[in-house]
C-alpha cells in the first residue's frame, strides 16, 4: 500500500504519520495477495478540540472508506481501523461465500480468519432485503435544479438525468451541509 497522509489545520508529525501507516497497514493481513492501492488518509483538526480522520482505500473490486471523530487523533485512528476491519470482514464473508458457491479455486481474501470469527460475522449479517420500490421518470435537468428538487422533497439524495450529458447522476447532501454529485465514469 502507498500512503497519502494529509492534514487540515494540523501538522502531520513523523510519529503521527508512522502510527497511521502502521495501524492501517495491519489491514493487509485480510487479503490473499499484497494490496496494490493508494491509501488516502485525511486528518483534520477543528477549533472545538475535535479531530477527524477519513480513510479511503480504492481497490479494483472494492472501495473501503471510513471516517471517525474523536478528541484524540490517535484514538480516532484506532477507531477508523476497527471500522475498516469490520467492513473487510463483512465483505470477505460475502465474497468468499459467493466464490465457493461458484466453485472458484481462489478466494479474494485470505482465509487466516478463524472459524469462530467467520461464524460471528455470519451471525451478525442480516439478510439485505428491499422493503420498498419506487419508479419515476428521470427528468432532464442540471445539478442546481436537482438540488432544489431534493430540498423540496426533504430527501438527502436525488437521482436525475443531466441535461447536458444525458446520463443518470445523483446529487446528495453531505454531513457538512454541502452538496455532492455522483456522475457515471465512462
The pLDDT tens digits of the residues spanning 1-19 come to: 888 899 888 888 999 999 9
- What's the average model confidence in pLDDT over 25-37? 78
For the chain, domain boundaries: 2-124, 140-182
pLDDT tens digits for range 36-83: 788 899 999 887 778 889 998 887 767 888 888 888 889 999 999 999
pLDDT on residue 122: 46
- What's the average model confidence in pLDDT over 169-180? 91
Tell which wins on pLDDT, 32 or 121: 32
Q: Does pLDDT of 174 surpass 50?
A: yes
CA distance 49 to 82: 22
Statement: 140-182 belongs to CATH 3.30.505.50 = yes
Residue 178 phi, psi dihedral angles, 5° rounding: -85, 180
For cell 508512522, the residue is: 18
Residue 66 phi, psi dihedral angles, 5° rounding: -155, 155
The strand order across the sheet containing 38-45 reads 2-8, 38-45, 51-58, 63-70
pLDDT on residue 136: 77
Is 140-182 the same fold as 2-124?
no
Q: Does pLDDT of 163 surpass 70?
A: yes
pLDDT on residue 115: 47
Residue 121 phi, psi dihedral angles, 5° rounding: -65, -40
Spatial CA neighbour of 47 closest among 75, 20, 10: 10
Note whether 133 and 113 are within 8 A (CB): no
Residue 65 burial by CB count (10 A; 0-12/13-18/19+): exposed, middle or buried?
A: middle
pLDDT on residue 186: 72
CATH superfamily of the domain spanning 2-124: Ribosome hibernation promotion factor-like (3.30.160.100)
pLDDT on residue 78: 93
Alpha carbon 70 to its chain's center: 19
Residue 144 burial by CB count (10 A; 0-12/13-18/19+): exposed, middle or buried?
A: exposed
β-pair partners for 170:
159, 182
Tell which wins on pLDDT, 93 or 53: 53
Q: Does pLDDT of 180 surpass 90?
A: yes
CA distance 97 to 111: 12
Q: 47-51, 53-57, 85-89, 174-178: lowest mean pLDDT where?
A: 47-51
pLDDT tens digits for range 103-153: 554 445 555 554 445 444 444 555 678 888 888 778 889 999 899 888 877
Residue 57: CB partners within 8 Å, gap ≥ 6?
1, 24, 27, 35, 37, 38, 39, 40, 63, 64, 65, 84
Amino acid at each position: 500500500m502507498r500512503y497519502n497522509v494529509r492534514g487540515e489545520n494540523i501538522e502531520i508529525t513523523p510519529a503521527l504519520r508512522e502510527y497511521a501507516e502502521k495501524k492501517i497497514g495491519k489491514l493487509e493481513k485480510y487479503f490473499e495477495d499484497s494490496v496494490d492501492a493508494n491509501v488516502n488518509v485525511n486528518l483534520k483538526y477543528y477549533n472545538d478540540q475535535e479531530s477527524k480522520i477519513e480513510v479511503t482505500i480504492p481497490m479494483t473490486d472494492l472501495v473501503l472508506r471510513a471516517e471517525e471523530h474523536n478528541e484524540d487523533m490517535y484514538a480516532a485512528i484506532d477507531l477508523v481501523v476497527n471500522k475498516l476491519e469490520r467492513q473487510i470482514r463483512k465483505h470477505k464473508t460475502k465474497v468468499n461465500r459467493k466464490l465457493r458457491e461458484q466453485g472458484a479455486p481462489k478466494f479474494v481474501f485470505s482465509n487466516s480468519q478463524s472459524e469462530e470469527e467467520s461464524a460471528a460475522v455470519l451471525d451478525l449479517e442480516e439478510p439485505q432485503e428491499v422493503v420498498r420500490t419506487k419508479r419515476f421518470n428521470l427528468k432532464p435537468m442540471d445539478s442546481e435544479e436537482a438540488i432544489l428538487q431534493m430540498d423540496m422533497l426533504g430527501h438527502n439524495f436525488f437521482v436525475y438525468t443531466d441535461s447536458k450529458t444525458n446520463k443518470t447522476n445523483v446529487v446528495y447532501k453531505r454531513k457538512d451541509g454541502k452538496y455532492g454529485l455522483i456522475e457515471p465514469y465512462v
